[in-house]
Chains A and B, each alone.
Chain A
Amino acid sequence: MSRLRGMLSRALALFVDDWPTTVAILAWLLAFAAAMPRLPHAAAGPLLACGLAIILVASVAARARR
């Protein structure tokens, strides 16, 4: 059981390094998916990428200040 838990936590660690960053990414994806039908076609892709880039910058800046 503990070996299985160890394997699962290792698998999770492949994708999650910092929980607040992961939660922010997932929240942004959910918000984007919900807003997608109302977004102008040309703006949707750049908006998705800009939100993710802002999360990256904010996450690195917050960790560096700690």
Chain B
Amino acid sequence: MTILQPLLPAASAFLASLVEFVEALTIVLAVGATRGWRPAVLGALGGTALLLVLVVAFGGSLAHVPERTLALVVGGLLLLFGMRWLRKACLRATGALALHDEGRAFDRASDALRRDSSTPGLDWSGLVTALNAVVLEGIEVVFIVLALGSRGHAFAPVVGGAATAFVAVAALGVAVHRPLARVPENALKLAVGVMLSAFGTLWIGEAFAVEWPGRDLSLLALVAGYGVAAGLATAVARARAGPT
């Protein structure tokens, strides 16, 4: 096992979690700004607790799955998940899909929350909105943590990567009190898509008994290859779409 083994999964988990937590933070901030900080914080904490329960529950059970089955199932799902992110990021880079705009998402959520009449006592509507945002965005983080942590004893570094992203986004949210619109989400999604597709390909190849030369070196080659493919896909799509 080289330094790459815990480092690349941890970096992938960190970057993917950063993107998802920034999106969740936007909604939590909208709840805080329109309905008060109590339901926003309680909802966010409730959602985080629910995600932790999922990680602990499923993380423990994955340890009992045979290695080859794990490589096939986790590798296959990781490949589909990574290719989805990669495809979307390429399409956003070409303009075929709109870029995710945190400022607009914040305004939309704030408007919807203002229209929703408040009730006396604890604001359940605000709390559920914040909890939903954290769970829905966080479920992708849970999958990435479980998938990347399930092989090669990488659970601790992967959880560490995701937790670091959580703390960083939460600290920034407390400090700036507005959506983190300047985070280069699409570039991060593209990088994560490349890394997850590379891991998925490596593992599903192992499930099919592919002998990867120098395992970790093959992983780097796969990362480079998917990076080139993403660049090529973006260039071809731009050419096909014609001048805008």
A interface residues (Cβ-Cβ under 8 A, vs B): 10, 14-18, 21-22, 25, 29, 32-33, 36, 41-42, 44-45, 48-49, 52-53, 55-57, 59-61, 63-66
Interchain nearest-CB distance for A16 vs B (Å): 7
Q: Chain B's interface: helix, strand, loop or mixed, by majority?
A: helix
Separation of A55 and B84 alpha carbons in the complex (Å): 12
Return the CB mask of B216-244 against A: 1 if under 8 Å, else 0. Answer: 00100010011011101110111011000
Specify the chain A residue showing the minimal Cβ separation from B222.
A49
Q: Which of B139, B211, B240 contacts A44 (CB 8 A)?
A: B211
Q: Which of B204, B210, B234 contacts A60 (CB 8 A)?
A: B234
Interchain nearest-CB distance for B173 vs A (Å): 25
Q: Chain A's interface: helix, strand, loop or mixed, by majority?
A: helix
Chain A-chain B contacts (Cβ-Cβ < 8 Å), number: 104
Query: Which B138-152 residues sit within 8 Å CB-CB of chain A?
Result: 139-140, 143
Return the CB mask of B52-89 against A: 1 if under 8 Å, else 0. Answer: 00000000000000000000000011011101101110
